[in-house]
Amino acid sequence: MGRGYHSREVESFGNPMLDAEANRELFEEQVEIILKAFRQESFSHQGKHYTIPPDVPYRGYRLKEITLVPRPVHQPVEIWQPIVSGSARSLDFMARHGIKGVISATAEQFVERWLRDYQAAAGRHGRA
């Protein structure tokens, strides 16, 4: 998974391309929703941008939780994300949620630093 870095990848989903902070904030909340859907039998989410399920009548009552159908066959679902900038925030987010990093076509000096930084973030979140 990834945030996207072309306008067609980002703005077509309603996310702001030019506001990196807003783009990251939306992406992080979206990932949290996806992970809940994968990892929990049923779930709800109340965040800054999303309320799931929405607070609307449904067949005469209000839903408290929803389920993902079909459920993933294998748990935990393995998620990979490209490491592009190697920012502390990105690496910490990935480590906190058990997301694995992919690095390609990058100078060796960056790869070594990003690996050390990711390992340190994983250690802070008990994922040595």
Per-residue pLDDT tens for 27-80? 899 999 999 999 999 999 999 999 999 988 889 999 999 999 999 999 999 999
Domain match, 55 and 7 both:
yes
8-state DSSP, 60: T
30 and 65 fall within a common domain? yes
94: closest CA among 115, 75, 113?
A: 115
Claim to verify: residue 28 and residue 84 sit in the same structural domain: no
10 and 60, same domain (yes or no)? yes
What spatial distance separates the first Cα and last Cα of the chain, rounded to whole Å?
A: 22
Residue 37 tokens, joined: 């859907």
Residues 66 and 94 in one domain: no
What is the number of structural domains in the chain? 2
Residue written as token pair 């910490």: 92
Phi, psi of 82 (to 5 degrees): -65, 140
pTM of the model: 0.81
Domain that holds residue 115: 78-128
* 40 and 10 together in one domain: yes
The Cα 79–Cα 112 span in angstroms is 22
Q: Are residues 85 and 66 in the same domain?
A: no
pLDDT in tens, 81-118: 988 888 899 999 999 999 998 887 778 888 888 888 98
Q: Which residues pair with 43 in a beta bridge?
A: 66
Query: Is there a single domain that holds both residue 48 and residue 5?
Result: yes
